[in-house]
Chains A and B, each alone.
Chain A
Amino acid sequence: MLAVPLLTACNGPLSTLNPSGPVALEIARLWWAMLIGAGLITAMVMVMLILAIRRGPMLTEGNTSERRWIYGWGLGFSLSVLTVLLAFALWVGERMLARDDGAVTVQAQASQWTWRFVQPGPGGQPVMTEGVLYVPAGQPFDVAITSTDVIHSFWVPQLGGKMDAIPGHPNLHRLMADEPGVYEGQCAEFCGRGHPFMRFEVVAYDPAGPLPDFASITGPMVEPAFPEDVSGFEGTGQTEIPAQESSE
């Protein structure tokens, strides 16, 4: 009876458990692994507790018992589990970072309570849109995130983690969508009255096919977060989106 709503929720448009890109997938895997581990540890501690309550007083020799509980379980067990987990998580995190490797860079500029984006459009020319970000599917892209007023946070749960938009501190965020499609995004940092409505969409298009019709807007262009990165938009040749790049 509960299975249907459960599945609907897990496969929802903002669900982290419905990954559609390598970053989100890795994190979802990390989550499931941690969930299993945490479940086992909780069960183990509860069993210990029940046994401790059930059995009568049987004073073991003082030092043996302290060695077992404090050094065995308290230090030995917890330290080994944590070491393995931490090493795994750092390894996962390390592979998600935005690096200088020539990935497509798009701009996201947050304001109370809307998102403006600049992305390469037809012919590599930068195009500004509001509320919708267009990126090629199947290849990594970096979002250069800025804010014009208060702190916001850029989050597309199906593609990966969030990154804050902080005035004066531009951030670079690496994401990728495996397949063409529409992915929902939202502001994740409380930013005032309009916070619940500060949504946006990421449209991942097939780079091999024709470009979608960008619903571009006019007005003052978003200031580049990283002036050196934006140069990619202006040239003609180098910004052409590689047609057949396999996802790595």
Chain B
Amino acid sequence: MVWLLRALAGPVLWAALFSLVYALHGTGCGLGWTDRPVLFTDLHHIAMWVAWLAGLALHVVLVLTMPVGSGRARTVTAAGAWIGLVASVFTLFPVVVTSTCF
């Protein structure tokens, strides 16, 4: 049973990260974070980038640590961790390409 939870760790992290970045996006547009310059960009971007990159780092940790067991159990645990990583890269990469609040 525990191996199943290990398989779910990656997707769960994706769900949490996706919700967090979406919430940061909504809050940032609502509170006008785009008007607060930070470094070469603004608070809104920085907040989302930090969350995204931290999440991706955690995903890499999961990919390295979650697979256990042998046979199908190992396939599924490894796949779960990879699904999480790929989903977080793919669904959140718009934070670096699209415009924020238009």
* A contacts B directly (C-beta below 8 A): yes
Minimum Cβ distance to chain A for residue B72 (Å)? 12
* B39 surroundings in chain A (CB, below 8 A): none
| B residues 47-102 touching A (CB-CB < 8 Å) | 86, 90, 94, 97-99, 102
How many A residues face the partner with a CB closer than 8 A?
8
Q: Which residues of B contact A83 (CB under 8 A)?
A: 90
List the A side residues contacting B99 at CB < 8 Å. 94, 97, 99
Report the bound CA distance from A90 to B94 in whole Å.
Answer: 9
A98 within 8 A of B: yes
Residues from 96 to 115 in A contacting B, C-beta threshold 8 Å:
97-99
Contacts of A99 in B (CB 8 A): 99, 102
B65 to chain A, nearest CB (A): 22
Closest to A94 in B: B98
Per-residue contact bits, chain A 72-94, to B (CB 8 Å; 1 contact, 0 not): 00000001000100000010011
Alpha-carbon distance between A83 and B97 when the two chains are bound, in angstroms? 14
Q: Are A90 and B98 within 8 A (Cβ)?
A: yes
Q: Which of A79, A90, A97 is B97 in contact with, Cβ under 8 Å?
A: A90
- For A98, the chain B residues whose CB sits under 8 A away are 102
**What CA separation (Å) do A97 and B98 show in the bound complex?**
11
A-B contact pairs, 14 of them (CB 8 A): A79-B86, A83-B90, A90-B94, A90-B97, A90-B98, A93-B98, A94-B97, A94-B98, A94-B99, A97-B99, A97-B102, A98-B102, A99-B99, A99-B102
